[in-house]
Structure 1
Amino acid sequence: MDDKITDAPAFFDGPHGPLAYRRRQPRGAPTGPGLVWLPGYGSDMLGGKATAMAHFAADRGRDSLRFDYSGCGESPGDFEAGAVGRWTEDAAAAIAALTRGPQILVGSSMGAWIALLLLRGRRVPIAGLVLIAPAPDFATELTPTQWSEEDWARLQREGRLEIPGDEGFVMIYTRYLFEDGAQHRVLNAPLQAGCPVRILSGLADDVVPPGHVLRLADHLEAEDMIVRFIKGGDHRLSRDSDIATLLTAMAEIAS
């Protein structure tokens, strides 16, 4: 097994063009279900939580798969043509093509929404869910309450909106992102998990408030579900202590 985490990606033909991915396989037979990383909006497969998942899987003799949605990270394409429906199709194709058997889906923010869409549609076999700062239905339930009327008007008028972030990073949102999101809601009906679920949420998260996380927990029907609220944790949940909590959550499912 190659222990390099940031080596060059491989590519496969996804439904919307080539998708970059990194898969790590154990030398022998896997000891249990593999783990799949589902990035958040504007994120990719090279972040700290994603690489921590890959190391976790390698240490336990499990497969792991990380990939970038079309137009994101190392995958070519037009980012602004993407939305949760399109990226869910990417995820379903990647998992079907690059894994075998039930997988533990580890989704961050929008990635958690995509994991729930995969669950609802029974599009891939799922052995467990680890949802980090989950933002299902953010296009209808969260962002509309967090933006100013001026920002919304500009988005509707121009079809896109740029919002400056940390360290000069600019996040781009499109009108299509929100139109598509309204067609892929998951909190409008109960969800039958049929697998263990772990949900992690930071109490200092200014993007996904605890109330939204509790609403998700109420909609998810699972015999084995634990919700952890992390004091001082923000939306990224990328501190060393946050990563340790993530590893604990994964270990509870992948034991």
Structure 2
Amino acid sequence: MSEPQFLTTPEGRRIAYRLTPGQGPTVVFLGGFRSDMEGSKAQHLQAWAEREGRAFLRFDYSGHGASSGAFLDGAIGDWFEDARAALSLAPGPLLLVGSSMGGWISLLLAKALPERIAGLVGIAAAPDFTEDSMWTAFDADQRAALLRDGQVAQPSDYSDDPYIITRRLIEEGRDRLVLREPLPLPFPVRLLQGTADTDVPPAVALRLLDHATGGDIRLTLVKGADHRFSSPDCLALIETTVTDLLAGMR
């Protein structure tokens, strides 16, 4: 595979991306926390886009993958700014596909750029997770350590190395919450969620479904699917969902 291209954001961060030309609206994949654009869902959509002649954009947030910066220096607002800058690479309407944290970033983009968004697919979308999943789950000692030391280590199901959660990630995230105020989504929205997801449980998807307003918002629960949502059946469902949404945009 050829080397990625790079974009320098208005904030001076160097963002790696891959843009596939084709028929619009451009499908934009937004990855999750500590993920990159070479993951199975992004790769599957890349192959689909090439096969179908569809415009497709994937990229790495700063501190992720091939982009510049250190992961521990980043926060939700930085990664939102990276995503907003990446969207400048794709003119015209956009279909956002956000996985986990990418679902939160997609919702922030929808609020900031509603005129550009033609549709949104959330895959185990995790809005407000820094507050509702991290800070809320910390005990008194962990909260004290975070405030005192600026970071705290958490075990990870995906790596032998623990997650390092920074004070800035938590505190900056409070300026980006989307479930505490009205969340209009005036375009087709499809939420895909596994019932066996222990990182972002189905209750989060149900809360988002209840909170958001819009005329065409649907939630699909997949029995037994976990947070990765990357089994062959789950990947096929993502592809079908994107294809069906695009078909309705003609």
Alignment of 1:204-215 (within 5 A): 204-215=196-207
CA deviations over 1:69-128 (Å, ceiling 9, x no partner) = 1111100112112111111011011101x1010110010111110110111122661111
Could you say which residue in structure 2 is the equivalent of 1:12? Answer: 7
Note the alpha carbon deviations across 1:154-174, whole angstroms, 9 max, x for none: 222211123342342432211
Task: Give the alignment's TM-score, normalised by structure 2.
Answer: 0.92
What's the RMSD between the two structures over aligned residues? 1.6
The answer as to 2:133 corresponding to 1:142 is: yes
The 1:135–1:211 alpha-carbon spacing in structure 2 relative to 1, beyond 3 Å, is: same
Whole-angstrom distance in 1 between the partners of 2:92 and 2:56: 12
Deviations 1:35-85 (A, max 9, x none): 111111111100000111112222222111111111111001121121111
Give the 3 Å change call, closer, same or farther, for CA 53–160 of structure 1 in structure 2. same
Residue of 86, 102, 112 corresponding to 2:93: 102
Secondary structure of 2:178's aligned partner: coil
Unaligned runs of 5+ in 1: none
Give 2:116's aligned amino acid.
Answer: P
The whole-number CA distance in structure 1 between the counterparts of 2:197 and 2:144 is 26
TM superposition shift of 1:147: 3.6
Whether 1:152 and 2:119 are equivalent positions in the alignment is: no
- Pairing 1:111–2:102 present: yes
User: In the alignment, does 2:36 pair up with 1:44?
Assistant: yes
* SS across alignment from 2:107: helix
DSSP 3-state at the match of 1:215: helix
Return closer, same or farther for 1:132/1:204 CA change in 2, 3 Å cut-off: same
Q: Which sits farther off after the overlay, 60-69 or 152-161?
A: 152-161
Distance 2:56 2:161 in 1: 29
1:148 to partner: Cα distance: 3.8
* Distance in structure 1 (CA, Å) of the matches to 2:64 and 2:19: 17
Matched-pair contact (CA < 8 Å) for 1:95–1:124: no
Distance in structure 2 (CA, Å) of the matches to 1:153 and 1:229: 37
Say which is worse superposed, 43-52 or 213-222, in terms of deviation: 213-222
The 1-side partners of 2:209 and 2:12 are apart by 32
Residue pair 1:139, 1:178 contacting (<8 A) in 2 also: yes
Identity over the aligned pairs, expressed in percent? Answer: 43
Structure 2 regions of 5+ residues with no counterpart? none
Aligned partners of 1:160, 1:89: CA distance in 2, in Å?
23
The offset of 1:146, in angstroms, is: 3.1
Q: AA paired with 1:146?
A: A
Residue type of the alignment partner of 2:214 = A
CA contact (8 A) 1:42 1:171 kept: no
